[in-house]
Amino acid sequence: MRFTRRTAVWLSAAVLAATTLPAAHASTSASAATTQVLFVGNNWEGTADVVASTPDLTKIGRINLIPDKDARLREIHLDPIKLAYFLGIRNSVGEGHDQFVDDMYTTPDGASVVVSRPSFADVVSVSLTTGQVNWRFPVSGYRADHMAVSPDGRRVAVSASTSNTVHVLDINTGKQLGSYGTGDKPHENTFTNGGRYLWTSSIGEVNTALDEPWLDWTKGDRKITIVDTTTFAKVREIDMRARLDAFGRSDLSDSVRPVAFSPDETKLYFQVSFFNGVIEYDVATDKITRIKTLPKNPNTTEDRTKWVNDSRHHGLSMNPGGSKLCVAGTMDDYATIVDRASLQHGPLVTVSKPYWATVSGDGSACVVSESGADRVTSISFATGQKIASVPVGDHPQRVRVGKIPAGWTGPTGG
């Protein structure tokens, strides 16, 4: 199809449920029964810390997201293939640890939290009241990864990375509404155009030691897949290889990692494997328009095989007004605010292996997970300076805005 600016707007809304939160959302939801918070998923521990959605990050409570751990482990140990994948996850992407919590979103009523669990290859809904599992959806293949929630909060998409599939589920019941195929190792998912379209980035194989630039072709079929969520039919595929080459950066990987759309839907910002920086893509013209290279930490090894899952930087968010980007410099141990107009970066805030970047409930701060220090830290979009930092559980990764019942401090049952 002919790809015009009108088509671009039709295809790519700026509703980035994972990273961009409208300023109209206050720390307390419109309903008196719920309060807006941040959920911090502690991947290696299997818990989520709940903290205030304001930049002070006041701790509120904690929930166990693997209450069925014993049952899942019995099931895995009775199946040699499942056990092989379980151990493979531990010894590769898990860095010697089991991966129990990758991504999470709460239901619209704040009654439950829905979580993807890589090592258990499933998505579960856990009651915030009782702490027990409401429903469970085993994904195809042997590993669950990143998720996305639709703007109305009723649908959740999850990447099944070993089967190159994305499942879209009813967030309240766990019923599959549809699914579609992707490139190799689907990763980041983004609902756009008010939930009409879904963009999925495939990162390819990130667990091999074939990390030299000339071996990039071994990483698999990496592309962005765009589907219509009413039919789950494929609308378009974008292979960034040709776009990067046209921009003169054939040296960069085309493995798209975290992304952020501009509020007017015309620009997509993204990170790629092995790169310390951010790439700007114009949706209407289908071209890369700018690339920002960020500083390297002189203490970071240049041995690419030592970088976690082919990441150098992994974590990107944008403030609600669209004027600032927040970048997590994972292997370089910093986070920084980047002015979107000039692409000039602010202070390099020292943090330990930041693994994700999101936006506080009031839109004033970026919140990064410090997976190397078991902390979550807020940074002012206005000044670029650290505001607050609080301890959380073992290896925090994804941080998501959610809701809890008013007065909640943790499950009362189970």
Residue 204 in domain? yes
The owner of tokens 């898990």 is 94
Report how far residue 326's alpha carbon sits from residue 165's, in angstroms, rounded to the nearest whole number. 29
Residue 170 in domain? yes
Instruction: Write down the pLDDT at residue 278.
Output: 98
Residue 412 in domain? no
Residue 414 in domain? no
Instruction: Write down the pLDDT at residue 22.
Output: 33
Instruction: Select from 67, 15, 37 the least CA-distant residue to 261.
Output: 15
Phi and psi torsions of 70, nearest 5°: -60, -40
Whether pTM exceeds 0.85: yes
Residue 72 in domain? yes
Residue 413 in domain? no
Residue 34 in domain? yes
Contact in structure between 397 and 370 (CB atoms under 8 Å): no
Instruction: Write down the pLDDT at residue 2.
Output: 38
Report how far residue 313's alpha carbon sits from residue 303's, in angstroms, rounded to the nearest whole number. 15
Report how far residue 63's alpha carbon sits from residue 67's, in angstroms, rounded to the nearest whole number. 9
Contact in structure between 191 and 149 (CB atoms under 8 Å): yes
Residue 35 in domain? yes
The owner of tokens 């929930």 is 63
Instruction: Write down the pLDDT at residue 209.
Output: 87
Report how far residue 131's alpha carbon sits from residue 153's, in angstroms, rounded to the nearest whole number. 21
Instruction: Write down the pLDDT at residue 413.
Output: 65
Report how far residue 245's alpha carbon sits from residue 240's, in angstroms, rounded to the nearest whole number. 8
We report the CATH number of the domain holding residue 133 as: 2.130.10.10
Q: Are strands 224-228 and 233-238 parallel, antiparallel or unpaired?
A: antiparallel
Instruction: Select from 161, 155, 211 the least CA-distant residue to 181.
Output: 161
Report the chain's C-alpha Rg in angstroms.
20
Report residues of the chain scoring pLDDT below 70: 1-32, 413-414
Instruction: Write down the pLDDT at residue 50.
Output: 98
Q: How many domains does the chain have?
A: 1
Question: Which range marks the domain in which residue 20 is found?
Answer: 5-405
Instruction: Write down the pLDDT at residue 4.
Output: 42
